[in-house]
Amino acid sequence: MKKISILDTTLRDGTQGVGVNFTLNDKIEIAHALDNAGVDYIEGGFPLASKREADFFKITSSEKFINAKIAAFGSTRKPGINVKDDDNIKALLNANSPAVVVVGKSWDKHVTDVIQTSLDENLRMIEESIKFLVSEGREVIFDLEHFFDGYKDNKDYALRTLELASDVGAKHLVLCDTNGGTLPLEVKSIIESLPLSKLATIGVHFHNDTGCAVANSIIAVQAGAGHVQGTINGWGERCGNANLCTIIPNLALKLNYDLTMTPNLKKLTHLSRYIAEKANIIPEKNQPYVGTAAFGHKAGQHADVILKAPHLMEHIEGGKVGNERQILLSELAGKSTIIDKMNKFGSYDKSSDEVIDLFNILKEKEGEGFEYESAEASFELLMYKALKKYKPLFELNNYHLETYKTWGLESKTVGRIFLKCGGKEYMGAGVGVGPVGTLDQAIRDALSTIYPFLDKMTLIDYKVRVLNPEDATDAKVRVFISSTDGDKDWETVGVSENIIEASWLALIDSMEYYYNTYIL
């Protein structure tokens, strides 16, 4: 099996995506998570960009990484400057990373029109930068910026940059589709036209502006590339980068290439969600392999097939990438769906009283406006109750919310809750902008000493939908709340004509689901 190395650039290219930000501590922890998963190279950032970036390399240079080499990112020297005097080159050396990613121009028009130097000077910039860094003991990964566009525009010059970088010691020659406009068959044709046997290992770096970044990466490997760059969850500037969460299992499971990460594929789903949590971004549910819907089945007929022969409905077993099957509950679901959910507690069939009762409750609840397809945790609680396995978190006496606004200042909500737990009375209070957050604070204030697990839970999303807008202010609303403990995510639902009551139902379901599923 051909060995394919993986470079993750989530901490550099990925942070150029909208809404993606990491603290220094986040970056250190993510780097170790990537290393633990088996990534070969971790591109940590541009050390000249800021103190935070420089500090990342200062810290990681003294820490142990088992699988991955940390790589600093920078460019070739500037035109007309001695390589030893170039600030960017000096920053790459000072990063003390075992590998460096050096980006250079391979499209002649970028040389003449953007950096405004001669084509020969650009070649000297490439040669001197790579030679110098190699002489200083660095493993050089050379990113040929805009290579595919440059090759199509001036094949001879693009090829000269490629061959030169190979001759002077670059270990990987990374063909970059910087504007994301290249299509798969173009990628195949161009790579197969290169003198691969005379070059260092070819790598690829694709952006997703045509939606082809993953397909381009895979066809590039089949055409001869041995190194792939991308980001976790496909984050990156504009439309994002090639998504390693899709590329890695495709290469390892579908095409049987040898990856360092192959023995650790079961960590992939956790890695995807862990990094999303660090960035405070809600993961894409329908993301291949690692999304919560990747192995979800809705229609009753599909669920019945899953029970009998799951390989007929799923392209792989979700557990291979650390994901799990979901049988989605909706008006399309049959009793097979219910049975699949209940069988982890015992043996049930379509004639079981518990199955029939829960099936009828599900239909009744959905008639009231509840929807469990996107709120599996709330359904789990219904199942616990039907099977007499449910234990309430507390008994509510009452809660009070008061929203006030002072002229010129934002509104505030003050809340108090009175409840009973274990035969004792408790009171909690909270202050926030909105009522849901305030209620959440008040519950935690009352119970966090009794239930320390509440400190692990975080609300990450809150959605409201009006079900019957024709009733205006008396309309019924459906509220979804998404929660996480940093590893697992779950969603709950509440429905009422009162938005506070609907929010309360979803909020309490979230806490009780975690309590009944993971604590008891």
pLDDT given at position 161? 98
Question: Helix or strand or coil: residue 408?
Answer: coil
Say if residues 249 and 25 touch (Cβ distance below 8 Å): no
Tell me, what's the pLDDT at 353? 82
Residues in the chain: 520
What is the distance between the terminal CA atoms of the chain, rounded to a whole angstrom? Answer: 46
Residue carrying the six token digits 């173009």: 186
Cα distance between residue 82 and residue 191, in whole Å: 33
- Distance CA(223)–CA(217), nearest Å, equals 10
Cβ proximity of 321 and 291 under 8 Å: no
pLDDT at 276: 87
Residue 68 has pLDDT above 60, yes or no: yes
Residue 329 pLDDT grade (very low, low, confident, very high; cuts 50, 70, 90): low
Distance CA 443, CA 319 (A): 35
Distance from C-alpha of 377 to C-alpha of 510, rounded to nearest angstrom: 7
Please write down the HEC assignment for all residues of 336-370.
HHHHHHHHHHCCCCCCCHHHHHHHHHHHHHHHCCC
Q: What is the pLDDT of residues 174-225, one digit of tens each?
A: 999 999 999 999 999 999 999 999 999 999 999 999 999 999 999 999 999 9
How far is Cα 514 from Cα 348, in angstroms, rounded to an integer? 24
Residue of 453, 452, 53, 489 whose CA lies nearest to 277: 489
Cα separation, 268 vs 272, whole angstroms = 6
Which H or E element spans position 107? Answer: none
Query: Could you read off the pLDDT of 219-242 as tens digits, one per residue?
Result: 999 999 999 999 999 999 999 999
pLDDT (tens digit per residue) in 279-327: 878 788 899 999 988 887 765 555 566 666 777 778 998 889 998 777 6
> Closest Cα partner for 438 from 399, 476, 477?
399
What percentage of the chain exceeds 70 in pLDDT? 94
Find out whether 126 and 91 touch, Cβ atoms under 8 Å: no
Confidence band for 1, pLDDT divided at 50, 70 and 90: confident
Number of neighbours of residue 340 by Cβ within 10 angstroms? 19
Mean pLDDT to the nearest integer, 166-180 = 97
Higher pLDDT, 286 or 363: 286
| Residue 67: pLDDT over 90 | yes
Q: Which two tokens stand for residue 131?
A: 């030679």
pLDDT digits (tens, 9 = 90+) for 447-491: 999 999 999 999 888 888 787 766 666 678 889 898 999 888 898
Token pair of 161 as six digits: 């940059």
Q: pLDDT category, 332, cuts 50, 70, 90?
A: very low
Closest C-alpha to 40, from 94, 98, 92: 98
> In whole angstroms, what is the distance from residue 113 CA to residue 110 CA?
5
8 A C-beta contact, residue 400 and residue 416: yes
Q: Which domains does the chain have, with CATH numbers?
A: 5-278 (3.20.20.70), 296-367 (no CATH), 395-519 (3.30.160.270)
Q: SS3 letters for 144-177?
A: EECHHHHHHHCHHHHHHHHHHHHHCCCCEEEEEE
Amino acid in the structure at residue 334: G
Write the pLDDT tens digit of every residue in 395-440: 999 999 998 887 877 889 999 999 999 899 999 999 988 888 899 9
Q: Are strands 477-484 and 458-466 parallel, antiparallel or unpaired?
A: antiparallel
Strand partners, 492: 481
List CB contacts of 511: < 8 A, sequence separation 6 or more.
393, 443, 454, 457
Tokens of residue 509, six digits: 């379901």
The residue to which tokens 């079961």 are assigned:
266
- Which residue(s) pair with 139 in the sheet? 99
